[in-house]
Homo-oligomer: A and B are copies of this chain.
Amino acid sequence: MKIRHVVEAQQFTVPMLMELFERTRRMECVVARGGTLDYQNRIMASLFYQPSTRTRCSFEAAMYRLGGRVVSTEHARIFSSEVQGEQLEDTIRIISGYSDVIVLRHSEVGGAARAAAVSGVPVINAGDGNGGQHPTQALLDLYTIFRERRSLDGLTIAMIGELDIGRTARSLTQLLSKFDRVKLHFVSPPELQMKEDILNELEERDVWYSVESDVERIIGSVDVIYLTQIRPGRMSDQQGHSKFSIGRAELARMKPNAMIMHPLPRTIELDKSVDGDPRAFYFQQDRNGLYVRMALLTMVLDS
């Protein structure tokens, strides 16, 4: 299966996801046996207009584990002081002359699509804008569930936090909706709830969901808790954060084989007393990102 650019999570169909996950599994083996693959003459450019140490390091380590090389910029600056609308396109045209694949983190929604439109080499979106896309995060989230449960059909998942602008929760919801009999709970203060566009998509696809305002109500019945942070000041009820948090008390009430996930970084919503619990998957989740990114890089570089 050929992929040219990775711009948004929704571009992946279920068969594409299954191929990606099979490749990802092979990448785990490559790393486990300490080897590399045959990409030693390929160059990845990581072009980050906003710093994101973790995402950038994950992509760069992925390219190195494939045997490749990396040209990196932590804080890509516009080349001159006159910032113009056309600058991103010119930069991409130029950088695609030096590299075999571009990993782009941009500050504006739609930046990755604009880059893909002019690039001579594949572009992978590593996040574009706050309401924008971050497809590799959604893919690694999905892979983490798939790897543990062997199937994505029939699962009940709670998405918790700042769902209105949370791009990881939005993208993951879109991916999950492609699988059978998935049930979703959106747990958030009313003012930060999942937006209409996503809810409408779910209704069109006949996906079951509920809108909740307290984690208590659903904690005992879910297979996956997908927790995200609520930034201070965004919640009108300042004292209400316990309704959207996981700690020792919630652990006691969860299913024994539930999974607790978080895209990190965390603040108060995820207590460190959870870290030692076997249901805590958030560090494994990030580790899976390495394998998923290796697999994606091979898919775009091979095509």
Contacts and interface: CB of A to CB of B under 8 A. Distances in A.
Interface in A39-67: 40-41, 43, 45, 47, 51-54, 56-58, 60-61, 64-65
Nearest to A82: B267
A190 interface: no
A240 interface: no
Copies of this subunit:
3
Contacts of A95: 54, 57
Contacts of A93: 283
Given A57-B95, A93-B283, A264 B43 contact: no
B98 A79 contact: no
B79 A265 contact: yes
Interface stretch (A68-76, A164-172, A205-213): A68-76
Interface of A: 34-36, 40-41, 43, 45, 47, 51-54, 56-58, 60-61, 64-65, 69, 71-82, 84, 86-87, 90-91, 93-95, 97-99, 229, 231-232, 264-267, 272, 283, 286-287, 290
